[in-house]
Chain A
Amino acid sequence: MTELSQLIVYGLATGCIYSLIALGFVLIYKATEMVNFAQGDLLMLGAFVAVTFILTLGLSYWLAFILAVIVMAAFSYGLDAVVLRRVIGQPQFSVVMLTIGLGFIFRAGATMIWGTEPYNFPAPFSSGVSVVGGVVISHVAISIVVGTVVLCSILWAFFRFSKLGVAMQAASQNQLAAYYMGVPVKRIFSLIWAISGGVAAVAGILIAPLTLVDNTMSMLGLKAFAAAVLGGFGSIPGALVGGILIGMIEQVSGAYFIDGSKDIAAYATLLLVLLLRPQGLFGAVGRKKV
């Protein structure tokens, strides 16, 4: 029983990371219909930037955290403004290939700048653990869950109450109508990329103490697709729930199923969902209008 609780706690923690990455996909997808295959690479960059602030510049964890998120948000804004804006209206395939290409470039860039040796990510609570009812919970795991909840609350309040957030929702639902209502659609899209890049950075920094920082972090992005699809691609609550489910499925299958199945549990789930219920838990597969 204790073992299972332990697994669930870790599943929840890694699941939160998948949720955040999936959230990044969904925000961009809802707004621009682009599917960003480089989301995991943005996460990786965010973690690298933060670790540099801490280790090289000697900044505190919290300051590095905030600065890295700002840097990644600005980077993603620029990415949209300079590169991605050009392919709006081209077939989805082009966009997919473009973001895959960007992912390659980011990883190569990261290798050139930071080398191939993984970095230890020092967080003030790295070594702390608490024991709750016999279950050992590391403080890193707690920080991931708390961080995810806080971030989601902030984003929810932003989209619900701020003028900009509402404008973003409008632009996501109907580009043309939003444009006529005076919403600067292009800039809004760039801002959504910025938010998505910021979310990726948060996810990267939250998980970094658990994994070490190197360019294999970008593979998390692929697993997060399973989360987004399980939840229903295009649904924000779906992304969050899907992420946590995938995290748990992974941990549990790793412990109780054949050796090594932890690594592919997410992909097996992805295939099953696509076969049995392509619209996921919360989504609806729209029909093309003719």
Chain B
Amino acid sequence: MRFPYKTDYGQDLDLFKSSSDRFWYGLLALVLLSMPLWVDTFWLGEVSYVFILGIVGIGLMILTGYAGQVSIGHAAFLGIGAYTHAILLSMGTPFVVSLVGATALSTLIGAGVGFPALRVAGIYLAMATFAFNFLVEFVFVRWESMTGGFSGFAVASPEFLGVSFTSGGGFYYICLLSIVLAILLTLNLLRSPTGRALIALRDSETAAQALGVRLARYKTTAFAISAGLTGFAGALFAHRIGYLAPDIFTIMFSIQLLLMVVVGGMGSIHGAIFGAIFVGALPQLIAIMRDYLPDSVARQPGIEPGIFGLLLVLTILFEPRGIYGRWLKIKHYFSVFPMHKKAAFSRQKSYTKSER
């Protein structure tokens, strides 16, 4: 096990804590940048989708994992971003402007949804967000002149100098650039006073107030940023699916997004990314699994949500820190090998902390 030797307070503020970090992330960057050279279009599309999910994951992680505000309605923000972007494109707005527009609108609506969060907390907020999700879905269905109603509408795919940036390699690089920017901005936020204030909000509102943290301001900020990132991802998502219909952005999808951050590991950006990889890869894994399972099990229609549910339950019961938590444990196991002791990560016994 290695400890970085610190000689300067600034080192705690740096993004890369050690030179080995630098090496591994550099290698990852090389692999990702060169991917279009050695991966076929299908898998490139899948990886792009993981990037999109990753951006949503980061957005949701800021809100739920850091600020502690549960949202069971993030598919609505994804939908708002997707529809706004697609509608703007259909009106002939340039791609980048439309992307910014979609992000801006969802940020604004996010701040608006954050408003009830000032009055209600915890479980009530969860309910408010799922109610919000239903209302947005209703708007998608009913505002036919804009959204095409139930039948939906096709998303335009603009080109630039003959290169499509809504499919294949062009789209891949846009998604890659987007997620890298999202991660950098989020990491910056988290090492700044605002990031700390969000954590304060999550762990004790009482103490946060007593230290001068304005609850209203930071809750609204958390919602706005989270919704903005999700709406931005929604705009990219519109190209991924190519055809928008209201029944995509349901509460079930919202729950799947939440599952992504829980299974990935709450309270870390790594967790959001791991979760995105996992949720993106799961349908493929299930498809592969189907080849090996007897038809009576594999052909069941309910198997996918069932597996999602099962994973969620198992994660909460046995690995509350998610995939990232498990990863840290495995890393620790090898770094101290063979000195591993079983109690290294055992949790303290917790008692009911009443919220009444």
Contact = CB atoms under 8 A, between A and B. Distances in A.
The answer to whether A and B touch in the complex, with CB atoms under 8 Å apart, is yes
A96 B70 contact: yes
A267 interface: yes
Interface string B287-321: 00000000000001111011111111100110010
A268 to B, nearest CB: 6
Nearest to A234: B356
B174 interface: no
Nearest to A108: B306
Interface string B103-143: 00000000000001001101110111011101100100110
Contact of B312 (A97, A226, A233, A274): A97
A5 interface: no
A136 interface: no
A107 B320 contact: no
A105 interface: yes
B352 interface: yes
A222 interface: yes
Place the interface of chain A in its size category.
35 or more
A101 B312 contact: yes
Contacts of B131: 226, 267-268, 270-271, 274
A256 interface: no
Interface stretch (A6-14, A53-61, A67-75, A80-88): A80-88
B11 interface: no
- Please classify the interface of chain B as helix (H, G, I), strand (E, B), loop, or mixed, using the class held by over half of its residues: helix
B198 to A, nearest CB: 15
Contacts of B68: 93
B352 A97 contact: no
A116 B300 CA distance: 10
Nearest to B205: A288
Given A101-B310, A260-B138, A229 B127 contact: yes
B351 interface: yes
Given A112-B300, A116-B301, A225-B127, A100 B255 contact: yes
A89 B310 CA distance: 21
Interface in B237-260: 251, 255, 258-259
Interface of A: 33, 35, 83, 86-90, 92-94, 96-98, 100-112, 116, 175, 222, 225-226, 229, 233, 258-261, 263-264, 267-268, 270-271, 274-275, 278, 286, 288, 290
Given A87-B317, A97-B259, 13 more contacts: A100-B258, A105-B309, A108-B306, A110-B302, A229-B127, A260-B142, A271-B128, A271-B131, A271-B135, A275-B119, A278-B119, A278-B124, A288-B206
27 contacts: A33-B355, A90-B316, A93-B68, A94-B316, A96-B70, A97-B259, A98-B313, A98-B317, A100-B312, A101-B308, A101-B310, A105-B313, A107-B302, A107-B309, A108-B305, A112-B306, A229-B124, A229-B127, A260-B142, A264-B135, A268-B131, A271-B135, A274-B120, A275-B119, A286-B355, A288-B206, A288-B355
The 7 lowest CB-CB distance pairs between A and B, nearest first, are: A104-B309, A108-B306, A111-B302, A101-B312, A108-B302, A267-B131, A105-B309
